[in-house]
Amino acid sequence: MFSLLHLSDLHRSPHDPIENTSLIDALLADLDRYIVEKPEVPKPDAAIISGDIIQGVKLGTPNYANELAQQYDVAYEFLCSVAERFFGGDRSRIVIVPGNHDVCWNTARDAMRELDPEEPPIKAYAELFKASNNLRWDWSSRTIFDINDSNIYKKRLDSYWTFVERFYEGVDLKHPIDRERGFNLFELDGGRIVIAALESVHGNDCFCRQGAIKRGVLGACSLSIRDLPQQPILRMAAWHHSFQGPPHGDDYMDIVAVQEMVGCGFRLGFHGHQHQADASAYSIHLPDELSMAISSAGSLCAGSRELPQGTNREYNIVVIDDSYTSARIHVREMTQGNHFGRCGRGVFRVDGFSKLRWSLPAGRAGAAPLDHRSFAATTVLRAEKALQEGNVDTALELLESLGADIEGYARKLFIEAAQKSSQTEKLISLLQPPQSIDEFVVLIGAYFSANMLSEAEALLSRANEFGIDVGTQNSLWSKLDFKKIMRRSN
């Protein structure tokens, strides 16, 4: 199983009633609860943050740049704590996308000019003010604006990108962050999963609330994944905007973008924006029906006025099965005392989770069908290279990503790496039971190192079952007796 922490709509700012330490403590307290639930909800392996990192700044705010910087400082500290507490400080396991609150309205407004009524008249209609066009309509002043400085307009996300680049500074990302192309790629689970972090804020500003992915971005993203030397088993995508809403809503993304994702081979999608958790499957009909499972996370920190009626603050845990063809969406809801627990609403009300399934697409044209064995082989080779170069921790992480496939040569490499890094607990966990005389001796040594003498004695008493010769047994018994004497003398 591969588990994802899905947080959305953080709305961080110095003015939020729940500050970072209390929020982190609430998430960790909930972790203690859900890891012992049935069915199993393991500790997350990675995190997706699907937009609205900050609360944002209203039009006309004095010193808006300073206010944005302060809000992103709060968000930075929060996500650094998430990385430290959940992933041992590994920020490469956190995937971030922007939301509409991350767009600087004041910068966008600076890029526009109000059209003079004496200019040639414009026949106004809804399509004229789409995100992809340069005209904007302001209902409050009944005015048409023109985006006349594209260079300034592009800077409306500069504060967001400064935050993102600061967060990943010094992090060894396989695919470096690129603020220009409309997507970024992250590899998870030893390369078995690739997630596209997509920008659904193309053309989004103070007067245009629509969600949109820039034309050509999904095609370029799909081609980039297709060109990877190691093809993923599962393609996932994360963006911010919902693609459905109330009849007169104007802040949703066109469903065509989701249809294109399905056709490009994406099978699991994540978004936020609607401040309410949901889980559903969306299908398109080509020669065969293709489907994509979509998980929406509620808002982690939106204010009470921004939450739908009857909805509390929420986040999701997504557990992907070992076949990469289904997932359980566990929704955690904040109730009394700012603590999280199982959600008791909608499709989640019975067990607190919903299960979604999908079919994997065919392999890359001209390439062999995707299978687990090819991934295991590639991962083992990468781990072997890392071990040879002295990157023991990287080797261990790669081998651990194999899960139940740590067998044969992978098992030998894992033992070597764990011994070099003195990670006794990992050795003991893998070697129960030992599969050879060498592994038996290594396990006894690990017990000695951990001062687990009772366990060592119990294993030694069964030495004949593992075919251990008498000379080796006598040597190990002597070491055990010496360890016991040293323990008593201390």
Contact of 293 with 327, CB cutoff 8 Å: yes
What does the pLDDT look like over 185-227, one tens digit per residue? 999 998 889 999 999 999 999 999 889 999 999 999 999 999 9
Q: In whole angstroms, what is the distance from residue 85 CA to residue 5 CA?
A: 12
**Which residues are registered as beta bridge partners of 334?**
340
- What is the average pLDDT value for the chain, to the nearest integer? 86
Half-sphere exposure in the Cβ direction for 20 (13 Å, CA): 17
**Which residues are registered as beta bridge partners of 5?**
47, 317
What does the pLDDT look like over 397-419, one tens digit per residue? 888 877 666 778 888 899 999 88
Q: In whole angstroms, what is the distance from residue 444 CA to residue 452 CA?
A: 9
- Chain-centre distance of CA 490, in angstroms? 48
- Chain-centre distance of CA 467, in angstroms? 46
What does the pLDDT look like over 84-132, one tens digit per residue? 999 999 999 999 999 999 999 999 999 999 987 666 677 767 677 788 8
The helix/strand/coil state of 282 is strand
Tokens of 43: 């500790």
Confidence band of 286 (pLDDT split at 50, 70, 90)? low
Handedness of CA 333, 334, 335, 337 (dihedral sign): positive
DSSP output for 115-153: PPTTSSP----GGGG-TTSSEEEETTTTEEEEE--HHHH
Handedness of CA 177, 178, 184, 189 (dihedral sign): negative
Q: What is the CATH number of domain 2-111+149-357?
A: 3.60.21.10
Question: Average pLDDT in the 304-309 region?
Answer: 67
pLDDT at 255: 85
Q: In whole angstroms, what is the distance from residue 114 CA to residue 120 CA?
A: 13
Pick the CATH number of 372-489 from 1.10.1740.10, 1.25.40.10, 3.30.450.20, 1.10.3720.10: 1.25.40.10
> According to DSSP H, which parts of 155-216 are helical?
158-167
pLDDT at 120: 66
Tokens of 296: 């929406």
The candidate with the shortest Cα–Cα distance to 22, out of 312, 313, 343, 337, is 337
Which residues lie closer than 8 Å to 478 by C-beta, 6 or more apart? none
Q: In whole angstroms, what is the distance from residue 401 CA to residue 378 CA?
A: 12
Buried b (16+ CB within 10 A) or exposed e, 462-481: ebeebebeeeeeeebeeebe
What does the pLDDT look like over 307-345, one tens digit per residue? 766 678 889 999 998 888 889 999 988 887 788 888 877
pLDDT at 366: 44
Domain ranges of the chain: 2-111+149-357, 372-489
Contact of 34 with 325, CB cutoff 8 Å: no
Q: What pTM value is reported for the model?
A: 0.74
